[in-house]
Structure 1
Amino acid sequence: MNTVTTHSPQSARPGHGLTVADAMEPCDYQIANDSTVDQANDIFHSAHVEYLLVRDHDGRCEGLVTRTGLHPFLTRSWSTERTAISATSHQRGPFAWPTMALALAAIAMRIKHLVVWPVVDEDGYILGVLTADRATGLLAAASTP
């Protein structure tokens, strides 16, 4: 006698139904892409944050810059006053979108080694950020009975 075991889609895909919108957080700190490394460093120190979202001249998300990513520029003090954020190597798109499945976003973040991922609307405007810790925590909570 053959026995067929079926699994519900919910149990086959942990976190099924959760989207990036369920896990995203607001991001209060942003900087224009034509701002200098020195200006970004001032924000890092005064706001005690580890990353800033970067906007282009239209206000759309260009990427994310980290304190660590700017370190090579900060060791050469003469370059911080003249180097624009857009000239640095920083995390750029593609970005997460709010309707994206959270499990898929978590996989993409793991593959890309991202701790923070900007979330944008269909026009590229910043909605918030998704952190790896928040995504992992929500998916773990959703998979426990």
Structure 2
Amino acid sequence: MTTHSPQPARRGLTVADAMDSYDYQIADDNTVDQANDIFRGADIEYLLVRDHDGRCEGLVTRAGLRPFLAPSRHTERTTISATAHQRGPFAWPTMGLALAAIAMRVKHLTVWPVVDEDGYILGVLTADRATGLLTVTPTP
């Protein structure tokens, strides 16, 4: 006969349960041209932006850079920090997933950087993943 020790009551889901790692980052002093090269080469829609200390500064999207790419002679000098892009506050891993999903809905975010207590990037939370985990009903 196999015995099982009682499982602790499961707390609500947190951002840590739903976040994904994300490897594509760019420094805020890189240029729009450099970001565009990464977007085209990696075929991605967003980049995490980090400051000179390596902390999360925000998130820039391919669509968000389009206005800065139009006058192509300026893209060599325009830095990511000079563009309009998503900035903090960011999600943290211990934040309740339901609260994060509500915040993302209110802010109209499809992706939200997740940072540690010092502001360093841990990963991203996507609205689809958060919604998907929250709508799964446990089986009895």
TM-score scaled by structure 1?
0.87
Letter matched to residue 107 of structure 1: I
1:73 paired to 2:68: yes
Q: State the secondary structure of the residue aligned to 2:23.
A: coil
Q: State the secondary structure of the residue aligned to 1:99.
A: coil
Deviations 1:52-98 (A, max 9, x none): 00000000000000000000011110111000000000000000000
Q: Which whole-Å CA distance do the structure 2 matches of 1:106 and 1:99 have between them?
A: 13
Q: Which whole-Å CA distance do the structure 1 matches of 2:61 and 2:71 have between them?
A: 17
Other-structure match for 1:110: 105
Give every structure 1 segment of 4 or more consecutive aligned residues whose post-TM-superposition deviation is greater than 2 Å. 142-145
Count matched residues: 132
Q: Which whole-Å CA distance do the structure 1 matches of 2:73 and 2:41 have between them?
A: 21
Q: Which whole-Å CA distance do the structure 1 matches of 2:44 and 2:113 have between them?
A: 15
The answer for unaligned runs of 5 or more in structure 2 is 1-10
Q: State the secondary structure of the residue aligned to 1:31.
A: strand
1:125 paired to 2:125: no
Q: Which whole-Å CA distance do the structure 2 matches of 1:144 and 1:52 have between them?
A: 37
Gap change, CA 1:56 and 1:142, over 3 Å in 2: farther
Q: Taking every aligned residue pair, what percent have the same amino acid on both sides? A: 81
1:57 paired to 2:52: yes
Other-structure match for 1:96: 91
Letter matched to residue 73 of structure 1: F
Q: Which whole-Å CA distance do the structure 2 matches of 1:110 and 1:142 have between them?
A: 21
The answer for unaligned runs of 5 or more in structure 1 is 1-15
Letter matched to residue 89 of structure 1: A
Other-structure match for 1:33: 28
Superposed CA RMSD in Å reads 1.6
Gap change, CA 1:106 and 1:143, over 3 Å in 2: farther
